[in-house]
Structure 1
């Protein structure tokens, strides 16, 4: 049911990444039942619509996919300052179709993961200088709290 719902909400009727579906559902599932009721669904609908507008803004060639340069423009617009090498890593990680570009649902997943990792990092970066020192186990705990 959830995947069909997300096909409708995406406006493309293409299969949504199941990981993205679970991530979004978990954000709006206030009763922790693994799904959303109608009231929660209205939040999901607005969330997806907002992401569609963002995606369309940065999908400059209207291909329905975001390439590395478009991803860089989007994330820079969100305040991230990352190297070109890191954008290559993001494309490899979130390009399920192996075309060197990221689809709409994978773009959402990329942004969700990046934001969660940033939040976890910032909690450790108490002096806000962009550097942290953590043990290996702390690092693993930070990463596994996100994935």
Structure 2
């Protein structure tokens, strides 16, 4: 797993922290892998599985995931990731599911770095618009998304990572924003059988309603 915006460190190495980046897993612990397992990936899994149950829970995963500014992932993002890879709906993920999650986050790091063109470590409104261009979102919806997922816009006025974060959308929230838009769009498409952009309400109204939910 590479760290930092430039991805300069190798998998298992120290973070290449340069004032911001995509984020990923925090540094792993140590332990011998079982036969046939990737030793490096098993090292990550055992580090995250702090209770040694053989399964990773949402709280354990949240403790292991960090953004490029060292802030922890939002629990909502962690739960979203767990839901995607918890194939047996046990509420936890095993090693094989974890392997899929690791690749998924690594792929998203590349997407984040591609659209974070100014290298700030966060995604601004223009960069978000480019990332979601395929969905043809209206300016009003893009503005709503930016306000919903921007750390500064939602952080309380207190000390801590979130309050001290740079303006923009951090890696964890960027992943969540993109996945949520994709899921909502796919749900709408299933209802819009004649593909005319309308169900009982139009697409814009549907998105406005969903994105303003708590």
Same fold (TM over 0.5): yes
**TM-score (normalizing by structure 2):** 0.58
Q: Secondary structure at the match of 1:65?
A: coil
CA drift of 1:86 comes to: 1.6
1:119 aligns with 2:186: yes
1:53 aligns with 2:106: no
Q: Is the aligned partner of 1:128 residue 2:195?
A: yes
Q: Note the residue ranges of structure 1 that are not aligned, 5 or more in a row.
A: none
Over the residues paired in the alignment, what is the CA RMSD in angstroms?
2.2
Q: Alignment length, in residue pairs?
A: 135
| Offset, 1:100 | 4.9
Q: State the partner residue of 1:6.
A: 65
Name the TM-score, length of structure 1 as normaliser: 0.82
- For residues 38-93 of structure 1, the C-alpha deviation after alignment (integer angstroms, 9 at most, x for no partner) is 111110001101111000000000111000000001111xx111222221110111
Moved over 4 A (4+): none
For 1:45 and 1:97, the matched residues in 2 are separated by 28
Describe the superposition over 1:2-31 as per-residue Cα deviations: whole angstroms up to 9, x where unpaired. 112223xx5664200110000001111122
Which residue of structure 2 aligns with residue 109 of structure 1? 176
Mapped partners of 2:169, 2:68: distance in 1:
17
1:89 aligns with 144
1:15 aligns to what SS in structure 2? coil
Give the conservation status (yes or no) of the 8 Å contact 1:92–1:100.
no
> Does 2:77 correspond to 1:17?
no
Larger radius of gyration: 2
In 2, Cα distance between equivalents of 1:73 and 1:48 = 20
